[in-house]
Amino acid sequence: MIETEVHFENHKRVIEEELAKAKFSVHIAVAWINFKSYFQIFCTIIKNGAKLNVVCSDNWQNRSHQKEIDELASKGASIRLLKMPSLKNHMHHKFAIIDSETIINGSFNWSPNAENSMENLMVIRDATDDVKKFLNEFQRLLTIESETIKNLQTKIKCPNKGCDGNLYNVLVFSERSTKYFETFGDIVSVCNECYEYSQVEECIPNKQIEILLSELRSASDDYDYELIDKHLSDLLLSYQNNDSIIHAIGKVKTTVDGYDEECVSTIILWKNKFVGDNLLDEFENEDFDVLYDN
């Protein structure tokens, strides 16, 4: 059962108490961290044998703690200062995941200034689905490049007259695969309003996606399902910084309706940052002419 605690005071004490319980891993994504103030608890995490992973905003406040950052890194911590392409934008998260079980989340930055502000903090336990979402977001932050962020933030208007939509690049994999499970796909540029599309790049191979999707469908228990799903998520994330910017990844799927008629659609499996609801989760009656006969 999911347990939730809500705190409006004593945020730093609550955070340190929760971090001290870590046995295996701590993932922290917080915009502003005073590494001097949290240095001892970070050292305790490492001393206790848990892996410390941190992503924070690349700003002068965090850079002023470079000595502590370097010392923590020398002890085995992984710390990334994420640089945004514009000074107007920030990596503005304030969350942590402890041992893939406990989530700390709220408005509270881990800084002395925040201690004198009106802030909130939530501690959430045993929320398996939410933990997965937070960990997936952390992996995105850990791997995304500044140039990718800039490209994703840039909107390209649809050239069709009277259309106010934007163009998004979708990597669409064929429904079929070779006997060695190799699948091919195309990158298509599709408007999110009129849905007209054009080909950007063709015949992109992948040797894992069909195997993982097949294994996911036949997973025998929750543990196997989560393990395979993690491998699939990592595979899709590997396209995040592709040379040709990819906003989403989909796969063609054919089903049979109640009249024994074949219905084709493209199911979106993954979306890059800043895409969200701008793209459909499923394009009905559309295969984007990705028709590889493998």
Q: Specify the pLDDT at position 258.
A: 61
Do 216 and 259 share a structural domain? Answer: yes
- Phi and psi, residue 242, nearest 5°: -60, 150
Q: Specify the pLDDT at position 294.
A: 61
The verdict on residue 289 lying in a domain is: no
Q: Specify the pLDDT at position 260.
A: 67
Rounded to whole angstroms, the Cα distance separating 238 from 232 reads 10
Position 15, amino acid: I
Beta bridge pairs of residue 3: 125
Do 22 and 128 share a structural domain? Answer: yes
Of 143, 172, 196, the one marking the end of a domain is 143
Do 110 and 95 share a structural domain? Answer: yes
Report the CATH number at residue 138: 3.30.870.10
Domain that holds residue 275: 150-284
Asked if 108 and 14 touch (Cβ cutoff 8 Å), the reply is no
Q: Specify the pLDDT at position 7.
A: 97
Q: Specify the pLDDT at position 45.
A: 97
Name the residue among 76, 25, 27 with its Cα closest to residue 54.
27
Q: Specify the pLDDT at position 86.
A: 83
Of 120, 143, 166, the one marking the end of a domain is 143
What are the per-10-residue average pLDDT scores of the chain (294 residues)? 94 97 97 96 97 95 95 97 87 96 96 88 95 96 95 95 96 89 94 96 94 87 86 95 96 79 91 96 94 75
Split into its structural domains, the chain has a count of 2
Position 80, amino acid: R
Provide the pairing of β-strand 51-57 with 25-30.
Answer: parallel
Q: Specify the pLDDT at position 179.
A: 79
Q: Specify the pLDDT at position 116.
A: 84
Q: Specify the pLDDT at position 290.
A: 92
CA 133, chain centre distance (Å): 8
Do 121 and 55 share a structural domain? Answer: yes
Q: Specify the pLDDT at position 221.
A: 84
Distances (CA, A) of 128 to 3, 17, 34, 140, 231: 11, 21, 29, 19, 17
